């Protein structure tokens, strides 16, 4: 008996050979089935699902961006003008957060506070046909943003129109004033002139409805054209010298008038004083004579002696020489040896 299982049977051998291989293949496939099932259980990538999510997120971000881009803030010192298709529909002047319609409305910012506009120099003719160069400035502000945007379109255009009005009024007003009155601070009308210019310019701005207001117009400096500056300076010097000479002449005349009045008053005072002194002296002499008369009337003999002695004082001096008899009463009086009765009797004789 042969030890080979397929001995003598070739068909059986071939069937057995290929059958074993198919069986092994089936076993291998059976062994790999669980792995295939495990792979199928993992989540698969779905492009449609993630594409929709990305679109939704993009739309949300775009909406938020559009909303943020159309929010605007109004500050305390500014206006926000809202325009729709170029036409002004409203403006905001209260501080806060506001929103405009996207893609349709636009916002323009205008200042709310006072502004200073430095104007360009301009040559103007005065009443006495003198040419001067005026350099001034204006203080102004926006009062109606809607009118400004509608009629002037921008701040630059509004300032340009304001400057035209100011120089127009300046030419008219300064053309009615002489050159000396403009440059002379003592006789200058600049205070009232600024008020007149401001009032008239505001009237013109309100007529054209530019939505701005001029608060004040001031002349910063007045210069002369170079070609006539030297001649004007010489004329000014000559005028000042004439004025100075006039003041000196008036001062001398006033001095002479004061001196003459003073001398006259002094002479009047001296004459009055002399008159009063003479009256006082006359009254004093009269009173003295009265007293003398009263005194001498009480003793006539003494008065006679006194009068005699007074004549001695007038007739006898240091160099006087008198030749009289020694026994005469006059000599005795001089010698002082006579009694009173003898003296009186001698004098009476």
Position 13 scores a pLDDT of 54
Q: What is the pLDDT of residue 61?
A: 87
What pLDDT, on a 0 to 100 scale, did the predictor assign at position 310? 78
Phi, psi of 188 (to 5 degrees): -75, 145
Distance between CA atoms of residues 114 and 141, nearest Å: 5
**Burial environment of residue 98 by CB neighbours within 10 A (0 to 12, 13 to 18, 19 or more):** middle
- Measure the CA angle with vertex 38, ends 36 and 43; round to 5°: 110
Q: Map tokens 């003041």 to a residue.
A: 247
d(CA 79, CA 74): 7
Low-confidence ranges of the chain (pLDDT < 50): 1-8, 30, 32-42, 186, 338, 340-344, 346-348
pLDDT of residue 23: 52
pLDDT tens digits, 74-116: 888 899 989 888 788 888 888 888 888 888 888 888 999 999 9
Identify the CA nearest to 170 among candidates 153, 149, 193, 204. 193
Q: Are 151 and 116 in contact (CB under 8 A)?
A: no
State the pLDDT at residue 334.
Answer: 65
Per-residue confidence (pLDDT) for residue 228, from 0 to 100: 67
The DSSP secondary-structure symbol of 1 reads: -
**How does DSSP classify residue 137?**
E
Secondary structure string (H, E, C) spanning 60-105: HHHHHHHHHHCEEEECCCEEEEEEECCEEEEEECCCEEEECCCCCE
What stretch of H or E contains 129?
none
User: Which positions ≥6 away from 220 have C-beta within 8 Å?
Assistant: 135, 136, 137
Residue 288, burial from CB neighbour count under 10 angstroms (0-12, 13-18, 19+):
exposed
Q: How far is residue 296's CA from residue 285's CA, in Å, rounded to a whole number?
A: 16
Task: Report the candidate in 123, 165, 122 with the shortest Cα–Cα distance to residue 140.
Answer: 165
Look at residues 203, 211, 215 and name the one whose alpha carbon lies nearest to residue 79. Answer: 211
- 3-state secondary structure at position 136: strand
Strand partners, 133: 123, 223
């Amino acid at each position: 008996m042969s030890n080979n299982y397929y001995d003598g049977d070739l068909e059986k051998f071939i069937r057995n050979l290929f059958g074993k291989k198919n069986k092994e293949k089936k076993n291998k496939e059976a062994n790999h089935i669980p792995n295939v099932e495990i792979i199928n259980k993992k989540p698969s990538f779905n492009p449609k699902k993630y594409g929709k999510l990305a679109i939704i997120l993009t739309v949300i971000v775009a909406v938020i961006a559009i909303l943020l881009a159309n929010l605007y803030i109004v500050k305390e010192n500014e206006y926000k003008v809202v325009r729709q298709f170029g036409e002004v529909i409203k403006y905001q002047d209260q501080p806060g957060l506001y929103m405009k319609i996207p893609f349709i409305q636009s916002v323009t910012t205008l200042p709310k506070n006072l502004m200073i506009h430095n104007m360009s120099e301009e040559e103007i003719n005065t009443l006495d046909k003198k040419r001067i160069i005026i350099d001034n400035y204006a203080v102004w502000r926006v009062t109606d943003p809607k009118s400004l945007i509608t009629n002037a379109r921008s701040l630059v255009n509004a300032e340009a129109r304001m400057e035209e009005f100011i120089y127009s009024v300046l030419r008219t007003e300064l053309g009615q004033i002489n050159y000396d009155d403009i440059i002379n601070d003592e006789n200058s009308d600049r205070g009232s002139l600024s008020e007149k210019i401001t009032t008239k310019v505001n009237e013109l701005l309100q007529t054209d409805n530019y939505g701005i207001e001029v608060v004040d117009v001031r002349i910063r400096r007045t210069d002369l054209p170079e070609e006539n500056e030297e001649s004007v300076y010489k004329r000014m010097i000559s005028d000042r010298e004439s004025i100075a000479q006039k003041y000196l002449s008036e001062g001398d005349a006033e001095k002479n008038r004061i001196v003459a009045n003073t001398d006259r008053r002094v002479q009047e005072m001296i004459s009055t004083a002399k008159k009063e002194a003479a009256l006082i002296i006359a009254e004093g002499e009269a009173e003295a004579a009265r007293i003398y008369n009263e005194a001498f009337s009480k003793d006539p003999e003494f008065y006679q002696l006194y009068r005699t002695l007074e004549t001695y004082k007038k007739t006898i001096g240091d160099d006087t020489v008198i030749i009289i008899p020694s026994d005469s009463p006059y000599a005795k009086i001089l010698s002082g040896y006579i009694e009173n009765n003898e003296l009186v009797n001698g004098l009476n004789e």
